[in-house]
Structures are given as C-alpha cells and as structure tokens.
Chain A
Amino acid sequence: MNKNSNTYTFLYATVLVVVVATALSLIATGLKSRQQKNIEVEKKQNILLSVNKALGVDTVPDRSAYIEELYRRYIVEEYLVDADGNKKEGEAFTMNMKTQYDIIREINASGISDEKKSELRRKLSLPVFVCRNDDGALKYIMPVYGLGLWGAIWGYISLDNDFNTIYGAIFDHKGETPGLGAEIAFPKFFNQFEGKQLFENGQFVSIRIVKGGATTGDRHGVNAISGGTITSRGVEEMLKNCLTEYKPFFEQQKTNAKIHDVAIE
C-alpha cells in the first residue's frame, strides 16, 4: 500500500490512536486504586503526624498498613462544622480543603460587604478530626490551606482541649523552593508550633511567623524560614484565615467544656 496515500495515513493514525488509548486506559484503571490509596495514606499520615503520632513512619516496611492501624487506633471521630461551630452533615475525610479555601479567600477579599460575607460563610463545611491519646486526652485537628510562593501549601494543626494551646502541627506544599520555602515541611520548622497559643486574653491572635526570629517566651510567634520569606508569610496568612473561620467552633467547645466541668464539680 502506498505510504503517502490519504487512506493509509488516516488508517494508520486511527489504529495508532486506538492502540494507545486502550493501552493507556487499561494501565490507568489498573493502577488507579493503588494511586488513590497512596494519596489517602499520605493524608492520614499527615493527620497523625500533627498529633505527634506515626513518627517512625520512615522506618517501617509496610507504610500503609502501619498508618491505617494507627489511624484506626487514635482518630476516634471526624466531622464537619459550619461557620457557627455547629456540626454539619457530610464526610469530613474526603472534604477537599481547596474548596473551603476558595470560599475563605472570597470572604477575605477587599470590598466585600458584611452581608455577602455571612452569606459566603453559610457555605463553609470545615473538617475536624478528633484524636484520643493513650492517656485518654482529646486533641482536635484542623486542616489549613493557603498559598505559598509557587503554589498551594497546606497542613494540619492540632489543639489541646482548651482550644488555645497548639499540640502539634505539620505542613506540606506542592512545589516551594527546596532548601528555602520547602523547609516548612520539616520538623525544624513545624515543631516550633508546639505549645504556642492562639488566643491572648480571649482575643484570637493566631500565630505570627517572625522574620529574624521570635523573641524567647513569645507565646504567639515562631521563627520564619531564612530565605523563605514569601512562604513564611503564606503560612502565617493561611493560619490566620483558616483558623479564624474555626473560631466560633473553638468558643462553643470552650463553653461546653466549662459547663461540663461545672457539672462534674
């Protein structure tokens, strides 16, 4: 057959496309469950790391079994809350924080009327994960999401049941500069958050990321990453914007806890 004829070219292209499409869809479907499992395990791992569990993950031979087992043992509850802090219908684990971030970003955009803000807030569904430590103490884990220098950054913050003191934190990112912004994903940075406080005399102050280093004894500040100014600023914004929306939930839980304490007394 003449290689230059239109029919040949057309047939050749068709056969090629069919072969390639079949091969690719077979491979993609075959590997899909494994890929999703990887993503799920990583999410669980980050949630566990934010409450200082699963620290030995790099030394175990079967990462996914190890993470699943710990997740079952420690994470006792997961639910969604609305902007007033009340529980809401829905699946917390599969909630994509990006969608919540898009709403939060709109709320914080300049020139938004209060009316519009509360309308946007009604759309929020914020995930909360509850961890019970071996000694029975409850820790509350909140996901956060924001923008760094090159793209998305996200993480998990866990609080003691006073809803003020940070118990642990972990951050991850899509593609911050290795060695600079990317340092937010290393213990040296996120371990600083432990013991810091979100409230000062009942006022929400969030956590400051201080360039040049926070003063010792600063309960609301941690050291920024040198050379990673924009990423550090991104983390600060992310914490402030996301945790502000959780504030009603914190306050409500605090009140509940007080009532609970009084009842016990």
Chain B
Amino acid sequence: MDTEKTGNNTGLFWKLFTAPIGKNNPITVLILGVCSALAVTVQLESALVMGLAVTIVTGFSSLIVSSLRTTISPRIRIIVQLVVVATLVIIVDQVLRAYAYQASKQLSIFVGLIITNCIIMGRIEAFALANKPWLSLIDGIGNGLGYGMILVIVAFFRELFGSGTLLGYQIIPESWYIANGGFYENNGLMILPPAALIVVGLIIWVQRSFYKI
C-alpha cells in the first residue's frame, strides 16, 4: 500500500479505519483470529469486553511495533513482536482482574489467547512493519473493531435465542415461555459451541453475497 506519501490524508485515515469493519473484515473475509472469537460469544457482555480488549491490543501493538520498526533486527523480529503483544495482553489481563473481575472470570483463558490471535500478528506483519505509527494505530484499531463487531453480532443472536436475554436483561417476555403457559422455548442449541460456527458461517454467506466477493 502506498501510504507513506499520502499520510496526512484524512480520507485515507477513514478508509483504513472502516475497511476492516466492512468489506475487509478480519474474521469473515480474511479468516484471521477466529480461534478465540467464538468461545466468548455465548453472552453479549463477554463479547463486548473481549472485542474491546482485542481492539486495545491490536491498536497499541501496531503502534509500538511500528515505532520500533527501524530498530528491530530481522533475526529476532518475530520474537520481539511476540514479546510486545504478550506484554500488552498481560497488562490487559491484570487490569481486567483488578477492575472488571466478573468479566475476567468469564473470559478466563481466552484473554491469554489474544496473544495467538492471528489478527494481531497479521496486522503487525502486513501493515505496521511498513507504515508510520499513527497509520498503524488506526489500522490496528479498525481491525480490532471489525473483529469485535462480528463477536457482538454472533453473541447477539446466541444470547437472544439461546437464553432469551441481552446483556443479562430478559428480552423475550416471560409469559411466552411454555413453562408459563406460552408457546416459546429457548433454543438450547444456540448456547452450545457448534452454534457459534454455524452462525459465523451464515454471517459469511450474507456478507459475501452483499459485497460480491
């Protein structure tokens, strides 16, 4: 990408920021970072926290690696990147444990798995190593948000149909349930792990038809 010359262009900033949210989405189009994405989508709340944590890590790791890019010896490139990412993830984990204990309990090992989230290393390798720090920050944040968006969409459907709630608040009226003389029953399948894969598959279908990729 020829970004070094046109670095001050706000249009470019905007494009960098929005492309990963829509037609260059890291999960559905580039198939990166799916690993840790799906296990945290049973509830909307954990999906939001996870999306936020990943956005922070992608943004800052891109920023830091990009600032260091001229100094890193190519021989230890990968390990330096891993150290930067792992440090940021540890900081996020420690802060979550101190200030958002419930959320950190729900995410459990998946916070640690942000380190091996391919989006982060992918953006560092593909973008941050060749571009200026500010552009890399924007690119990182955009990709983090694109990732978070898919998480939130998946979690929205899984929590709504699986538990009848959103962010813990009851959405489907209690009186609809069969137990209360109604006609409705939560779809237990949505809560189970395989449902996440099927929902993502369907999102990919919709998105690819829409953007005609």
Contact B76 A12 (CB under 8 A): yes
Q: B191 is contacted by which of A34, A39, A174, A178 (Cβ under 8 Å)? A: A178
Given contacts A9-B76, A12-B71, A12-B76, contact A35 B94 (CB under 8 A): yes
Which residues of chain B come closer than 8 Å to A27, judged between CB atoms?
A: 90-91, 94-95
> Which secondary structure dominates where chain B touches chain A?
helix
Which residues of chain A come closer than 8 Å to B108, judged between CB atoms?
A: 174-175
Q: Within the complex, what minimum Cβ distance (angstroms) separates A36 from chain B? A: 10
Query: Which one of A16-24, A141-149, A197-205, A240-248 contacts B?
Result: A16-24
Q: B42 is contacted by which of A3, A23, A34, A179 (Cβ under 8 Å)? A: A179
- Bin the interface of chain B by size: 20 to 34
Contact A4 B91 (CB under 8 A): no
Given contacts A179-B162, A179-B163, contact A34 B99 (CB under 8 A): yes
Which residues of chain A come closer than 8 Å to B90, judged between CB atoms?
A: 24, 27-28
| Cα of A174 to Cα of B106 in the assembled complex, Å | 9
In residues 19-46 of chain A, which contact B (Cβ within 8 Å)? 20, 23-24, 27-28, 31, 34-35, 38-39, 42
Q: Within the complex, what minimum Cβ distance (angstroms) separates B124 from chain A? A: 15
**Cβ-based interface call for B72 (8 A):** yes
Which residues of chain B come closer than 8 Å to A16, judged between CB atoms?
A: 80, 83
Q: How many A-B residue pairs have CB under 8 A?
A: 68
Contact B101 A180 (CB under 8 A): no
Contact B76 A34 (CB under 8 A): no
Residues of B near any A CB (own CB < 8 A): 42-43, 71-76, 79-80, 83, 87, 90-91, 94-95, 97-99, 101, 108, 162-163, 188, 191-193
Q: A13-B76, A20-B87, A38-B97 known; 11 other A-B pairs, CB under 8 Å?
A: A12-B72, A12-B73, A16-B83, A28-B94, A31-B94, A31-B97, A34-B98, A177-B193, A179-B163, A179-B191, A179-B192
